Amino acid sequence: MPILPIDAGRYGSNEMKMIFEEEKSLEYQLEFEAVVAEVQAELGLIPIDASKEILEIVKSKRIKIKRIKELESRTEHDTAAMVEAISELSNIAKPWIHYGLTSYDVIDTRISMQVRDALIIIKDKLKQIIRILIGYAEKYKDLPAVGRTHGQHASIISFGLKFAVWLTDLIAHLEHLDELKHRVLLCKTLGVVGTGSLMGRNALKVQEMVSKRLGLYAVDAATQVISRERIAELLQFIALVGSTLDKIAIEIRNLQRSEIYEVAEPFREGQMGSSAVPVKRNPIKSERISSLARILRANSNISLENIGLWHERDLSNSANERFIIPTSFILLDEMLNDMLKVLNGLKINEERIKANIELSKGQIFAEFVLDAMIKKGIARSDAYRLVQRIAFNAYERNLNLLEALKMEEDILKILTINELEEIFNAKNHLAAAPLIIENVIKKARNIIAH
């Protein structure tokens, strides 16, 4: 009976979950054992016939999870149980199975193999999101909108700039993904305390050859385990990507608020926003993204705690890594899937975006009035106080700032009516935003092409 939502099929795609399933994990470990034996035979460390038999057993798929669990119930050691399961099916290879290895050579390299395949899925979905954001950034680069700081109307922005900023963040994550591979996709075959012990000076050659055949990188130095800084960087990367998705989701949730309503999540036919209120259209996917991001950040903190192990290793990292590594990948995968659904069907209300600019009755243009006065030679402090007085007075009297300014002789001595009206045209204040967006789009298209 499923206990966790992941087990019940609630979160994550089948392609991602398959990577971390018991059967697939066993396949990775058996593949590692076979490749190590193959390389050792080529270097004369074990008999060729032994290597061939190990490979045949692995390819036969006769080793089953059920049998390994039966053996583990006696040994209380999962890797030893796997080795014994191989041995049960062998004849000449019995002395040479798992030769010169320790359990965490198998486990750490298996984790790297899983991460190798999981990162391919993550990278592809990041690229899909980037493609969607390119479209939005391009479409809305010339649409003025309210820019908000501290939850207050601050100045005019291009609505497309929101998407360009998210693009910039996701581009950085794609770059980080490629950069971290040689640090986290590590292969280790150096045995009990990282010296290569039984394989002697050939140990490094074995590790290098095995690494290349598995599409991994040979660890430079390790104890019984690969240093947990590597896993921590991986989990920090996942948490960072998750936090960016959270940031996007928070903005969508805020912009969907009834009093703003500039965007809305897609709402399919038959969907229910509330069990009690028929008219509700809740941003549930964005809220789920924000919720799951908190788990990713918590998992990354656990990975930092795992860095300090005793001497050449202890087991204090082992149990929690069985949770935090697969869970982090599966939940990030779910968040990416949700974000793709949200962005693919995002409703953007251009009329509301334009109308919201007028909510402050022109107060949002105060920055530009100040700038125009300064350019006329008025001291900043004098101009600031004058605009502030008029703006605050207009707010109290529920007047539009433009009309209030037109009634002020002190303003009309500095700026003409035509100049004031030009200032209150939102399209005149996009400044460098369209160029910024175009530059980001160009970079985004270049990175997803590779």
Give dist(CA 258, CA 261) in Å, integer: 5
Any idea which residue has 């334009």 for tokens? 354
325 within domain boundaries: yes
Statement: residue 405 has pLDDT above 70: yes
Of 8-12, 91-95, 109-113, 399-403, the poorest mean pLDDT is in 8-12
Give the C-alpha distances (Å, rounded to integers) separating 328 from 25, 113, 140: 16, 16, 34
Give dist(CA 111, CA 29) in Å, integer: 9
Q: What are the residue numbers of the active site?
A: 150, 274
- The verdict on 110 and 83 lying in the same domain is no
184 within domain boundaries: yes
Mean pLDDT of 102-111: 97
- Among the three residues 96, 130, 148, which one is the final residue of a domain in this structure? 96
Mean pLDDT of 350-375: 95
440 within domain boundaries: no
User: CA nearest 447: which of 259, 178, 248?
Assistant: 178
Mean pLDDT of 348-377: 95
446 within domain boundaries: no
How many C-beta neighbours within 10 Å does residue 257 have? 10
381 within domain boundaries: yes
Number of domains in the chain: 3
435 within domain boundaries: no
Give dist(CA 174, CA 131) in Å, integer: 13
Query: pLDDT value at position 268?
Result: 67
Query: pLDDT value at position 364?
Result: 94
- The verdict on 146 and 18 lying in the same domain is no
- Among the three residues 340, 356, 372, which one is the final residue of a domain in this structure? 356
pLDDT tens for 115-168 read 999 999 999 999 999 999 999 999 999 999 999 999 999 999 999 999 999 999
Give dist(CA 424, CA 394) in Å, integer: 15
- The verdict on 88 and 144 lying in the same domain is no
HSE at residue 62, side-chain half, CA atoms within 13 A, is 12
Statement: residue 79 has pLDDT above 90: yes
- The verdict on 352 and 367 lying in the same domain is no
Q: Which residues of 191-227 are buried (b: 16+ CB within 10 A; e: fewer)?
A: bbebebeebeebbebbbebbbeebebbbbeebbbbbe
- The verdict on 293 and 173 lying in the same domain is yes
Q: Which residues of 132-144 are buried (b: 16+ CB within 10 A; e: fewer)?
A: bbbebbbebbebb
134 within domain boundaries: yes
Mean pLDDT of 379-390: 96
- Among the three residues 71, 96, 121, which one is the final residue of a domain in this structure? 96
Please report, for the domain that includes residue 27, its CATH number.
Answer: 1.10.275.10
Please report, for the domain that includes residue 388, its CATH number.
Answer: 1.10.40.30
Give dist(CA 314, CA 316) in Å, integer: 6
Query: pLDDT value at position 271?
Result: 57
Please report, for the domain that includes residue 154, its CATH number.
Answer: 1.20.200.10
Mean of the per-residue pLDDT values of the chain = 94
- The verdict on 55 and 115 lying in the same domain is no
264 and 281 in contact (C-beta within 8 Å)? yes
Query: pLDDT value at position 267?
Result: 78
- The verdict on 129 and 188 lying in the same domain is yes
Q: Which residues of 164-181 are buried (b: 16+ CB within 10 A; e: fewer)?
A: bbbbebbbebbeebeebb
Mean pLDDT of 374-392: 96
Query: pLDDT value at position 3?
Result: 84
- The verdict on 132 and 274 lying in the same domain is yes
Query: pLDDT value at position 174?
Result: 97
Query: pLDDT value at position 404?
Result: 96
pLDDT tens for 237-285 read 999 999 999 999 999 999 999 999 999 999 765 555 554 545 567 899 9
Q: Which domain holds residue 393?
A: 363-423
- The verdict on 306 and 344 lying in the same domain is yes
Q: How confident is the model at residue 7 (pLDDT cuts 50, 70, 90)?
A: confident
Q: How confident is the model at residue 450 (pLDDT cuts 50, 70, 90)?
A: confident
Statement: residue 311 has pLDDT above 60: yes
Give dist(CA 76, CA 220) in Å, integer: 31
At residue 347, φ and ψ (nearest 5 deg) are: -95, 125
In angstroms, how far is the first alpha carbon of the chain from the final one? 43
- The verdict on 268 and 316 lying in the same domain is yes
User: CA nearest 89: which of 143, 37, 53?
Assistant: 53
Statement: residue 414 has pLDDT above 70: yes
pLDDT tens for 183-219 read 999 999 999 999 998 999 899 999 999 999 999 999 9
- Which stretch of DSSP H or E encloses residue 187? strand 186-187
- The verdict on 142 and 157 lying in the same domain is yes
Any idea which residue has 């030769």 for tokens? 99
Query: pLDDT value at position 1?
Result: 74
Mean pLDDT of 331-348: 97
120 within domain boundaries: yes
Query: pLDDT value at position 278?
Result: 52
- The verdict on 280 and 414 lying in the same domain is no
